[in-house]
Amino acid sequence: MPLSPLSRRHLLASTAAAFATAGSLAPLKALAAEGPARAQALETMKKATRFMVEKAAYNGGYVWSYLPDFSRRWGEMEAFPTMIWVQPPGTATMGHLFLDAYHATGDAYYYEAAVKAAKALIAIQHPAGGWNYLGDLAGEASLKKWYDTIGKNGWRLEEFQHYYGNATFDDAGTAESSQFLLRLYVEKQDPAFKPALDKALAFVLDSQYPIGGWPQRFPLKDEFHHHGRADYTAYITFNDDVAGENLKFLIMVWQALGDERVLPAIRKAMDCFLACQQPMPQPAWGLQHRVSDLKPAGARTYEPEAFATHTTGGNIASCMDFYELTGDPKFLARLGEALDWLDSVKLPAEQIKGGRAYPTFISIGEGKPLFIHRTGSNVVNGRYFADHNPENVVIHYSSTRAVNVEGLRKRLAKLQATAPEIASKDSPLKGGRKALPRYFTTGDISVSDLNVDTLKADAGQTSPDKAAALIAALNSEGWWPAELKATSNPYIGDGSATPAPGDFSRTRVGDATDTSPFITDTPKIGISTGGYIENMTALIKFIGAV
C-alpha cells in the first residue's frame, strides 16, 4: 500500500475529463510518421512485444522486472517463477498497452496478447470477483509458501506478511483488472470474457458499504490481527485512490454497458467523501475511516490513527470532480474549510525540504505533526513508531508531502463561479452512452515499481530523435536493457529476535533476512515491464496513433 503524491495514478486525467475527451482520441493521421521511420517503429514494437509475450510472460501474465536469464524476477517483492503480478505496472497494465497497440496498428497480434493477459488474470481471479496483489498459477499451496517465506519477511511491506485468502482494492490492482476486462469485452463483444467481467462488477457492488465506501480487502476477514492491533483492511479506504478507481470502473460500466445497477453505487460512493470529512476544527480526512463512527483509523504500524494531508488534498480534488460529474454544489460546500485546515498545518519554513510543505500525518485533537521512525533490524525484532520529532525519519515512507493548495484554491474558485449545468455539461453521467477512450497508457502512470517510479509519457507526438533512439536501443534478443536499480535479499530464513549490528532506521531494507526491495549501489541490467510499457507508448505516439 505504498503512497505517492496527490493523485496516485493518472491513466486518465480525471473521470469526467476522460470521458469528455474520449471521442477526440481518434488517430491524427496528418501527424503520423511515414515511410521507413514508421516501418522501423512498427518492426521494433512487434519484436519487443514478441519477446515479452513469448519469453517473459508466464502463461500470459507478467511481473515487473526480470534478470536476463530469468533466474530472479520481481513484482513489488521477489516472485516465484510461476507467479504473476496484478499491481501496476503488472498484467492488467500490459493488457491495456496491448489494446492500445492494437488500436494504433491494427495488428491482431496485439489483440491476442491482450487476450492472453486477460486469461492469466481470470485464472487468478478470486471466486468473489476481485484480485490480490499477485497470483500463483502453480496453485494456492505455492502461494501460501511464498507468503510464509518471502512475504512474511518483508519488514516494511506489512501487507504481504500473511496470507489473507481474499482480494484487495489496494494499489488499483482489482480496479485496473476490472477496467481492462471491460475494455477487452467491449472491443469485440467476446462472450468468453463476460463471466469474469460480471464477477468483477459484482465484487465492486457487493463489497461497497451502505455508507458508500469500500474496505481495502474483501471478502471481509475477522480472524487476523496486525502487529497486535485489530486488522485494518475492513476500514473505509481512501488511501491509494481506492474509491476513485472503483468509481472510474463503475462509470466506465455505465458508459459502455448502460448497466443501471451502478448508478446508486456511484452516488453513494461520492456521498461517502462528504460523510467522512470531519467537523471543525479539523475538517480533513484520514487514509481510512472506521465504519462504525466514520472517524480516521490507523492501518500499518507506520500509518497511525491520524489525519493525512495528501489524502485530504486528493479528496478535495475528488469532490471537485464530483461537482463536474453531478452539478451538485454540496460537493464544494466544505472544501474551503479543508483548504484552510491544510494552510494551518503547513510546516515551518525551516522544515520544508524539496517542496514538501505538509506533514503526512496530523494528530487528532492536538493538531500536531506526527513523524514516522523505526528501530531494530528485521520484521521479528523491529518496530515502527510515530512521535513529534521531525529528525531521523524513515525514508521508505515520507513523513512530509507536497500538496498544491494554491492550485486547489484556484480550481475551487473557478468552479464556484461556474453554474452547475455548465460545470457538468460533459459529465458521463448525463446524456447517452459514450465510447470508452481508445488509449489508456498514453498518459503518466504512477506505480510502485522502484525501477521506473512514474511511467512518463511524452506530451503530444514523440520526436523522431527519441523514436530513433528507442529503435536503436532494442537489443538483438528483443528487449530494451534497463538498469534494475531495485533488488532484494534472497530469502534465507526467518529473521532473528536479536537485532543485527548497524543502524537500519533510515534504510529501505533491514538485515540480510529482510526481503523488502531496496535501491542497490550495484544495479544489474535486466528486463523492465514498466520500461517496455513506457517505450511502447512513445512509439505508439510516434506512429501517429494519438
If we measure between CA atoms, which residue out of 445, 430, 433, 432 comes closest to residue 186? 433
Average pLDDT of the segment spanning 348-366: 95
Q: Residues 463-485: pLDDT tens digits?
A: 999 999 999 999 999 999 999 99
Looking at the domain assignment, is residue 282 inside a domain? yes
Element spanning 45, H or E: helix 35-51
- Average of per-residue pLDDT across 345-368: 96
Q: Per the domain annotation, does 115 fall within a domain? A: yes
The mean per-residue pLDDT over the stretch 220-232 comes to 73
CB 33 within 8 A of CB 89: no
- At 302-332, the pLDDT tens digits run 999 999 999 999 999 999 999 999 999 999 9
CB-count exposure of residue 472 (10 Å: 0-12, 13-18, 19+): exposed
Q: Can you tell me whether residue 521 is helix, strand or coil?
A: strand
Lookup: cell for 500: 543485527
CA angle 175, 181, 185 (to 5 degrees): 145
**Confidence (pLDDT) at 479:** 98
Q: Is residue 7 part of a domain?
A: no
Q: How many domains would you assign to the chain?
A: 1
In a domain, 171, yes or no: yes
Assign residue 424 the CATH number of its domain.
1.50.10.20
Distance of CA 106 to the CA centre of its chain: 29
Our CA dihedral for 17, 22, 27, 31, rounded to 10 degrees, sits at -20
Residues of the chain with pLDDT > 90: what percent? 86
What is the average pLDDT across 47-57?
A: 98
Residue 9 lies in a domain: no
Distances (CA, A) of 507 to 155, 457, 503: 11, 30, 8
In the prediction, which pLDDT does 362 show?
A: 98
In one letter, which amino acid is 429?
L
* Cell matching residue 220: 471481509
Residue of higher predicted confidence among 21 and 388: 388
pLDDT confidence of residue 152 = 98
Residue 4 located in a structural domain = no
> Minimum mean pLDDT among 17-26, 102-111, 207-216, 297-306: which range?
17-26
> What does the mean pLDDT of the chain come to?
92
With respect to residue 6, please indicate whether it lies within any of the assigned structural domains: no
Rounded average pLDDT over 522-535: 97
- 167: which strand partners? 218
The pLDDT, as a whole number, for residue 9 is: 38
Give the confidence band of 456 by pLDDT, cuts at 50, 70, 90.
Answer: low
Neighbours of 521 (CB within 10 A): 5
Q: Which residue has the cell 514498466?
A: 530
Residues 488 and 200: their CA atoms lie apart, in Å, by 33
Indicate the angle between helix axes 35-51 and 91-105, nearest 10 degrees.
150
Show Cβ contacts of residue 16 under 8 Å, excluding neighbours closer than 6 positions. Answer: 321, 324, 325, 424, 426, 427, 428
Residue 119 lies in a domain: yes
Question: Could you list the residue range(s) of the whole structural domain that residue 52 is in?
Answer: 15-542
Gap between the Cα atoms of 109 and 426, Å rounded: 35
Backbone angles phi, psi at 134, to 5 degrees: -150, 170
Q: What φ, ψ does residue 89 adopt, rounded to 5°?
A: -95, 75
User: CA separation (Å) from 452 to 48, 286, 440, 528, 533?
Assistant: 18, 28, 18, 8, 10
Provide the grid cell at 258: 448502460
What's the pLDDT at 18? 44
Joined together, the cell numbers standing for residue 457 give: 509519457
Given a cut of 70, whether residue 292 has pLDDT beyond it is yes
